[in-house]
Structure 1
């Protein structure tokens, strides 16, 4: 938590960028909710990896 609170990154911008990979035009409300949830999980996974918590290679959670 200390690392997260001290991190100067713009988490809103990170989430917006991640949402671009999951949210597309024409999604139904439930699909949109799920796509946004996936984007949030992807950002959380990337941050955990960046902080050295997961041991996963960086970029693993980005959908390109």
Structure 2
């Protein structure tokens, strides 16, 4: 039984890093997500580390 707002995912979802194109099954815990212009984008751990200051400053990806 799930509560309101809780989602169950029965299938693994493939995600792609918006920066380098790396793919992974499901969203690894080391990846980060960002909502830009209404779209949820995911970044792998390497791209997240390389651009951490820009991400924390909430700069658009174009400025990285």
Q: Compute the TM-score of the two structures, normalised by the length of structure 1.
A: 0.23
Q: Which has the larger radius of gyration?
A: 2
Q: Which has the higher contact order (CA 8 A, sep 6+)?
A: 1
Name the structure with the higher helix share. Answer: 1
Q: Compute the TM-score of the two structures, normalised by the length of structure 2.
A: 0.23
